[in-house]
Amino acid sequence: MIIGIGNDLCDIRRIERSLERFGDRFRDRVFAPEEQAKAERRAHPAATYAKRFAAKEACAKALGTGFRHGVFWRDMVVINLPSGRPTLRLTGGALERLTAITPEGMTADIHLTLTDEYPLAQAIVMIYGVARSSFIPKR
C-alpha cells in the first residue's frame, strides 16, 4: 500500500550559491555529518548536496507536512544500504509523522531514487506500508 509519494527538482547552481554564501552554516543546518562527509569526498560536492536536498524536500512532501509540524531538515538523512541502494533514515518530527501515517499492522518502507544532470538534481520518494507478518519460521 502506498502511504505517500513526493518528488523534487533542485537546481544545483542554487546549492552552489548557498554553499559559497553560507558555507558550514548551510551545511550544518540542512545536512547530517554523514551526508556532509559523503558530499565532500565527491568531485562535485554541490551535485551530491543538491540530490540530498531534493530527497529531503521529496520526503517532506511524501509525509504530507512539508517542513512544518515539527519536521526539520536534519530529521531526514539520506543513507545507503549495504547494497548501495539509497534510502532515508528518519528521526525526530519526521519519524513521528511517519509513525502517525503508517496504518496499524503495517511497517513503513521508504524507497528513494536520486539522479542529477547538471544543472538539475531530482529525487523521488515513495513510502510503502508493508503488512507485518505473523508468520514465525520453524527452527
Query: Binding site for Mg(2+): residue ranges?
Result: 8, 57
Q: Place 10 in a pLDDT band, splitting at 50, 70 and 90.
A: very high
Domains, in order of start, for the chain: 2-131 (3.90.470.20)
User: Cα separation of 51 and 57, whole Å?
Assistant: 10
Q: What is the pLDDT of residues 14-33, one digit of tens each?
A: 999 999 999 999 999 999 99
Element (H, E) at 91: none
Cut 0.85: pTM above it: yes
CA 15 to centroid of chain Cα atoms: 16
Q: For residue range 85-102, list pLDDT tens digits in order.
A: 999 999 999 999 999 999
Cell numbers for 49, please give them. 548536496
Detail the residues annotated as belonging to a binding site.
8, 57
